[in-house]
Chains A and B, each alone.
Chain A
């Protein structure tokens, strides 16, 4: 009895060590059909998840900055995932969008809004940095170029996502772990009509 229990516990421990924790079990196909597992335990130093909306002008305006950050930090062991928040967007439309904006990291469709719910994203673009331990080290804007809807700085004065990633790579705490993202609100799937 006792050895059997010990063996069971050992097996369970092994299972937990090998398999991702249930909260992390988010399997996706990206827009080209490849398996992607954002927020899964990996060898990466952190995962960046940025929520986007194909026709949100604010999210789209950030594309070149997203591409620069992805190019730079993917080379430094940070994984990047872009997540479309429109449940109705087709893979074909998303492929065209990714081509137009030159994205260089996996782009996911999230028709059930599992990632939206998991990270409690509210607007696009909103960035999340999740550590291998599963904690959200940063959430909020990519930088401060948009002060509020309809009000934009000529240049950003603070690049929050970059600062957060630099801090994590340096083993430092993120100085400002939560900022307010400005953009288009993420709509949740339609409730039943009365």
Chain B
């Protein structure tokens, strides 16, 4: 939009052209918000809250920065923002806020919360020029938010049986709450939403479904209805249902799509708690919206993850890779990258059968605190024979302030925050029934079923051999290695 149109070789004309261009660029930097393009100020006008800043704040900040929400203070009025102008300009300038970690050049997602360079410049200018309020007539209408369920009253609300106490200080807490569904038949949901009970401490929530009874056992051995975990849910075999992090907007699946909640399943809510400096209580609720139509497309969750993850101590740029075949036609609805504290970056790419590459997501500056799912605006069609590749980097040096180990030590795959993971979860549909061949359509659920069908003695033996991080369960890579080993034994036995 700033392209010069003059093409003369005259030095004077060229100089004039440059001046004009400079004026255009300057004007663009102070340009008004899209809502009011007709009042774009010229460069000598001041940037005001009512005209320039309020539209940015209302659209990108206020949904979390309002009473009762996750953010620590409100950003709804001139005074709210004026008082914090310098802090706002700083965190916006560093792109810490709003928290959106995906590279805008890779993938087109719903609910993008990312400011343009132009908007950031306007906030910075406003903060450094005395935070003028501007004309009352310029102030847009304040944003309207629903205080309760964004999709309306859910068909079913589930919650832990009692509030959980979060202490004032210390490392973050991961708690898994077990809630029986009591369903006597399979149900499908078209949407799942979350209402954290205390948004100053709830950092993210992941709802899993457990049909193995293991979550109940872990809870029974702990407080009765919940147990501590290191970041996962402490066992294998549960299915990922839905995740929530601040800023997430719930949405229904496309028509005739649904996620299965098997009869008799238990919900396992894994909640990541921050500590605020004072004791807090939380009781997070989950709202279920049942599919109203027959289901043609069951939405499944699979994952592409690295193999044999081992990050040497001191390594500043350890590269991990993973790959996942796509044996049937698959439609990807959402991607959820997941690493722990050493993760630095992750890129997931699909390669179509014709060799064409499609960027699925890129997180250039991974932050464990702001992980979330990215839902495609247009679901991604991957024809049979495609492949999904993941490349991630990790910093296990002492220079990484987030490194939980002092001094750094060899880090392997595991559940604890002092271990690492390297996964992209994929919500997808497929026209091909799940197989045991691996890839989308098989993946975690098939492996879990194989695992459950093994004899307890065999499971114990595999656990002894492959539980490399000694946490009492086989995590992703360990389980894959164990099952490969077991299958090779069976092949040998069959010869």
Q: Which residues of A contact B (CB under 8 A)?
A: 55-57, 60-65, 86, 88, 100-102, 147, 149-155, 157, 184-185, 187, 190-191, 193-194
Contacts and interface: CB of A to CB of B under 8 A. Distances in A.
B84 A190 contact: no
B239 to A, nearest CB: 30
Given A56-B72, A157-B406, A193-B133, A187 B367 contact: no
Interface of B: 46, 72-73, 82-87, 90-91, 94, 96, 130-133, 168-169, 171, 275-278, 341, 367, 369, 401-402, 404, 406, 417
A184 B87 contact: yes
Contacts of B168: 63-64, 102
A70 to B, nearest CB: 14
A185 B341 contact: no
Contact of B46 (A55, A65, A191, A194): A194
A151 to B, nearest CB: 6
Given A61-B169, A190-B131, A151 B278 contact: no
Given A187-B84, A194-B46, A61 B402 contact: no
Contacts of B73: 55
A163 B129 CA distance: 39
A61 B166 CA distance: 13
Given A150-B94, A151-B401, A152-B401, 18 more contacts: A60-B277, A60-B278, A61-B276, A61-B277, A62-B277, A64-B277, A102-B168, A150-B96, A150-B369, A154-B171, A155-B171, A185-B84, A185-B86, A185-B90, A187-B82, A193-B132, A194-B130, A194-B132
A64 B82 contact: no
Given A154-B341, A193-B132, A185 B276 contact: no
B278 A101 contact: yes
A173 to B, nearest CB: 28
A170 B100 CA distance: 48
A17 to B, nearest CB: 42
A155 B406 CA distance: 10
Nearest to B404: A154
Contacts, number: 74
A149 B276 contact: no
Contact of B169 (A56, A57, A65): A65
B46 to A, nearest CB: 6
Contacts of A187: 82-86
A63 B278 contact: yes
Interface majority SS (helix, strand, loop, mixed), chain B: loop
B367 A150 contact: yes
A125 B131 CA distance: 23
B94 A149 contact: yes
For A88, A154, A184, the residue with the greatest tally of chain B CB atoms inside 10 Å of its CB is A154
A64 B169 contact: yes
B72 A153 contact: no
A153 to B, nearest CB: 5
B91 A150 contact: yes
Contacts of B169: 61, 63-65
Nearest 6 interchain pairs by C-beta? A63-B277, A185-B86, A60-B277, A55-B73, A64-B169, A150-B96
A83 B72 CA distance: 19
A57 B85 contact: no
Contacts of B171: 154-155
A153 B87 CA distance: 21
A65 B277 CA distance: 9
Contacts of A154: 171, 341, 402, 404, 417
B275 A61 contact: yes
Contacts of B276: 57, 60-61
Contacts of B367: 150
Contacts of B369: 150
B117 to A, nearest CB: 19
23 contacts: A55-B72, A60-B277, A61-B169, A61-B275, A61-B276, A63-B169, A149-B91, A150-B91, A153-B402, A154-B402, A154-B417, A157-B406, A184-B84, A184-B87, A185-B84, A185-B90, A187-B84, A187-B85, A187-B86, A191-B131, A193-B130, A194-B130, A194-B132
Given A56-B72, A187-B84, A193-B132, A102 B90 contact: no
Contacts of A185: 84, 86-87, 90
A120 to B, nearest CB: 15
Nearest to B130: A191
Nearest to A147: B401
Given A102-B278, A184-B87, A190 B82 contact: yes
Contacts of A101: 277-278
A60 B406 CA distance: 26
Contacts of B94: 149-150
Nearest to A62: B277
A100 B278 contact: yes
Nearest to B172: A154
A107 B104 CA distance: 46
A65 B170 CA distance: 10
Contacts of B278: 60, 63, 100-102
A76 to B, nearest CB: 23
A185 B168 CA distance: 23
A101 B276 CA distance: 9
B66 to A, nearest CB: 13
B90 A149 contact: yes
Contacts of A191: 130-131
